[in-house]
Structure 1
Amino acid sequence: MAEGHRLDPADWDGFGAAFHDLLDRCLARMQAARDHPWIPPPEGFAGTVALDDAARPVEALFADLAAILPHGTGNTHPRFFGWVHGAGLPQAAAAELVAATMNVNLGGRLQAATEVERAVIDWTARVAGLPQTAFGILTTGTSQATIHALSAARRRAFPRVRAEGIRDLPPVTVYHAEGAHNCIAKALEVMGHGAQAARPIPLDGAGRMDMAALAATVARDRADGCHPLAVVGTAGSVNLGLYDDFEALAAFAETEALWLHADAAFGFWSLLAEAPWRDLARGIARADSIAADFHKWIGVPYDAGICLVAEGADLKAAFAARPDYLRAGSGLAGGDVWFTDYGIELSRGFRALKVWTAIRGCGRQALGAAISDNCRQAALMGQLVEASPKLRLAHPVVSNLVCFEPLGAEADRVAAALQMSGEAVFSTTLVAGVSCLRAALVNHRTTTGDVRAAIAAVEAALT
């Protein structure tokens, strides 16, 4: 092809026809999600997608895409309960097409995408109940958001850290409940403090961080010359869906001059639910920062998370650094917000559009109703487990997670058998040292019938 046209389709009409055919396949698959459980890639699939140096005709290329389409993780299916994988929304899939067509860099500049991301941040901050000074940034997920939040906490505690580094700092410590997500320790590793800077605190009888143990650990660390930096409250623990007492943590953090961070990857969205679930995260509005995922419980396609900071200036102070070629100007170089000032990335995709579309297309009420449905379904699953002589509930159901032991069988074997049969996807975990099946209900397509069928399938696998 001639200069200036080398990479675009030679035949736009033919490309459009193939594109529409592929789009129809995608729409049909989303509409019939119930008919598409997880299936592993066929033998030899790696060779099928291996790259050589040749270009493929459009028809062959789109046939390749259609061949990849069926072999995801199956998390669009209503009986996918593994890990905490969101189901995706058709509305947001449309937004992905628009975002790819626009192909903007949302690191900065004067563009509509900036206002869309600001709208998402503002809406989420209102859900949290944060003050008007709050600001944030969309991230790949809670793991990245945690690095952002703890970096802001560190910059506030040590104003010279960006210039001077951490070598001369006292040992920094961060406190979290036992069973909290390992993204906290990972963040501290990346920040140079090491995983040992994370201090797990035992739970009390209600499954929350034990406040007396927290106070004792902080006091001991201060006496040992450490600098207690932050306490991390969990909204929806990764194993059991437990919530810390954010009111108590906020009061403690104020007394001890600690930053309060909320690890709320999926549990944040219980704020949209009906009572009693919306009260699980009461007090989260008092947090200095919050990390949450859009791609879990409100169905936004991967990946999309957020870091919110109550004083947005703290986040900007931790990351803003404009070289000459990015200095503020007029025209396209204008804009009063450049998101590169609020995070580690300069090159950023328009992930905010799919989040905005999910919120705009579904509305707060419907999103909250779907979350409430999942919590009711989890409660039902817990009741079915307790009623079964073949199963043992490992912990009372608090929100949308259910862990239970298949009696007389290995949980890993049962989970794999159900996954391969397409009947249901559970993941596995350890609860008090016992291997259990784990169900996380975050799929808006799930029904009570799916819950009953999944538990019946588990029982049948034990015969």
Structure 2
Amino acid sequence: MTGQGIKTQDWEAFRAEARRMLEAALDQMQTASDHPWQPVPEDIDARYAIDGMAHGAGAAVDQILSDVMPYHGGNTHPRFWGWVQGSGLPSDMIASVAVAAVNANMGGRDHGANYMERAVVNWTRASMGLPEGASGILVTGTSQATVIAFQAARLRVLSGLRKTGQGGVRLTAYAGEGVHNATLKAVELLGIGSDNLRKVPLVGGQIDCTALAEMVAADKAAGALPFLVVGTAGSVDLGLFDDLNALADAAADLGLWLHVDGAFGAWTRIADEPYRSLSDGIGRADSIALDFHKWMYVGYDCGMALLRDEAEHRAAFAARPSYLEGAERGLAGGEPWFCDYGIDLSRGNRALKVWTALKTYGAAAFGEAITLNCQLAQVMGQQVEAEHRMALAAPVVSNVCVFTARADLPVQAQSDLNAHIAQCLQESGEAVFSTTRVGDVVMLRAAITNHRSRVADVQAAIAAVAREADAG
């Protein structure tokens, strides 16, 4: 046999390159305000092309510094408020180094990382107000968490589901108008079908529980099996919250599983008032989907599915062929295994990012940052109202501010201008707004889930919008 395969020949040289990469990464993170999004070069595909040859760690670091680090998505910048994207933490750097060195498979077995994930699950469970013994698992994000929760909800009403399938049963699920696309994808992936996701009218931005009851009764009369209602903690467009206590009461009366999409809004549970009370009742849910990579700021990707009943959670996924049998002692011990609570057998170590963040900064700091984000959205709303030609789409409730730059223009002209302003400010590096449609108007949208943002950033961004509105 010839060759040596993958081998580090010179560890001292490799250490030097690793240190160079670490210092550059820390520098970029420390000076995040100097690094907004910028368009990628036209030849980026050619730069990234892989020729299959060995060029060494030094060459890899050189190209990462020149061709990777500058062309990021921009969400580390303090004036990035597009979509709902988290901003990352310096503590992620420390956690990522340990994650790479240990390379833990979190599917199961008896090693420390699994105990750390249980600690993260338990802290999150308590933060959300779920009882002791509730179950959870770290996942890629709310989209995957939603699938996990819905599968457990299906199994509650169809006990033989895993063996016989859903068959001819028509399950119906319920969610408010404007529910996040993760819910739609979940019902499609699970074979429930998007036609069976019934959109409940909203009253004051919240699910109308009277209309919900009427829809459930009509569906039962038509031969369907209603099984699930989805409450929203932080809506996509306007950051609105369902009345989760009222929804929990309705779900109990109607025999429905209550799932809460709390992708970002669930974290108001650790904020100060008046924002904490927005998510009152979330602890009454049968399941919650949430993200750490949004409003807990940790690096991508990191979400969680929480389920009230551990037995229902495990029953939906547990499967142990002979090669995965546990043992009383040794590495095959360490029950329970996380592979019995989700889709993946091979799982990366997301828990260490969360644990390191909480260990580094303390839980109170996250509550303060979340509260500040909501306060900044209020400031932005006030700035908009102070500009006589701007107008809010709706009052600011949490951390989302949606507005038009020129309410005095016709609908299509407003839409065109707002889209133009979003693009101009993204390209100039001054601020990142996304857009959304409210009624017939495309509007500017700021979803502030950025721990680096301050009042001065909001003021500068609104001034830039006003400038572009005048120019337009």
Task: Name the TM-score, length of structure 2 as normaliser.
Answer: 0.96
CA distance in 2, matches of 1:208, 1:286: 17
Distance in structure 2 (CA, Å) of the matches to 1:386 and 1:312: 48
Paired residue type of 1:136? G
**Aligned-partner Cα distance in 2 for 1:233–1:311:** 18
- Answering whether residue 209 of structure 2 is matched by residue 211 of structure 1, we say yes
d(CA) in 1 for partners of 2:245, 2:298: 29
Root-mean-square deviation (Å): 1.2
- 1:116 corresponds in structure 2 to 116
Deviation at 1:57, TM superposition (A): 2.1
Aligned counterpart, 2:21? 22
Give structure 2 stretches of 5+ with no counterpart: none
Q: How many residues align?
A: 460
Q: Which residue of 2 aligns with 1:232?
A: 230
1:93/1:301 contact within 8 Å kept? no
| Correspondent of 2:275 among 255, 274, 277 | 277
Where do 1:310-329 residues align within 5 Å? Answer: 310-329=308-327
Q: Which amino acid aligns with 2:72?
A: G
Question: How many angstroms apart in 2 are the aligned matches of 1:393 and 1:211?
Answer: 28
Q: C-alpha displacement at 1:11, in angstroms?
A: 1.1
What is the correspondence of 1:18-417 to structure 2 with a 5 Å cutoff? 18-67=17-66, 68-168=68-168, 170-204=169-203, 206-329=204-327, 330-407=329-406, 408=409, 409=414, 410=416, 411-417=418-424
Question: In the TM superposition, what is the alpha-carbon distance from 1:363 to its structure 2 partner?
Answer: 1.2
Q: Distance in 1 between matches of 2:41 and 2:11?
A: 33
1:236-267 deviations in whole A, cap 9, x for unaligned? 00110000011111111111111000000000
**CA–CA distance in 2 between the matches of 1:46 and 1:9?**
28
Report the identity percentage: 50
Q: In 2, Cα distance between the equivalents of 1:2 and 1:278? A: 64
CA distance in structure 1 between the partners assigned to 2:271 and 2:356 by the alignment: 20
Alignment partners' CA distance in 2, 1:376 and 1:53: 51
Name the CA distance, whole Å, in 2 between partners of 1:146 and 1:195.
15
**Deviation by residue 1:327-351 (Cα, 9 ceiling, x = unmatched):** 0113111111100000010000001
SS in 1 for 2:12: helix
Aligned counterparts of 2:462 and 2:193: Cα–Cα separation in 1:
42
Q: Which moved more, 1:403-412 or 1:42-51?
A: 403-412
Once residues 447 and 344 of structure 1 are traced to their aligned partners in structure 2, the CA distance between those partners, rounded to angstroms, is 39
Q: Post-superposition shift, 1:51?
A: 1.2
**Contact 1:185-1:198 at 8 Å conserved across structures:** yes
Give the letter for the 1:422 counterpart: G
Which residue type is aligned with residue 125 of structure 1?
R
Contact 2:213 2:254 in 1 (8 A): no
Conserved? CA contact 1:175–1:232, under 8 Å: yes
Cα deviation, 1:288-310, whole Å, max 9, x if unaligned, reads 00000000011110000000001
Where does structure 1 lack aligned partners over 5 or more consecutive residues? none
Distance in structure 2 (CA, Å) of the matches to 1:2 and 1:348: 34
Aligned residue for 2:290, secondary structure, equals strand
Give the counterpart letter for 1:387 in structure 2. Answer: A
Contact preservation (8 Å) 1:185, 1:197: no
**Equivalent residue letter for 1:436:** M
Amino acid paired to 1:307? A
Kept in 1: contact 2:245–2:281 (CA 8 A): yes
Q: Offset of 1:390 from its aligned partner?
A: 2.8
Q: For 1:101 and 1:194, how far apart are their aligned partners in 2? A: 43
Deviation for aligned residue 1:2: 7.3
Q: Is the 8 A contact 1:265 1:291 kept in 2?
A: yes
Is residue 461 from structure 1 mapped to residue 460 from structure 2 by the alignment? no
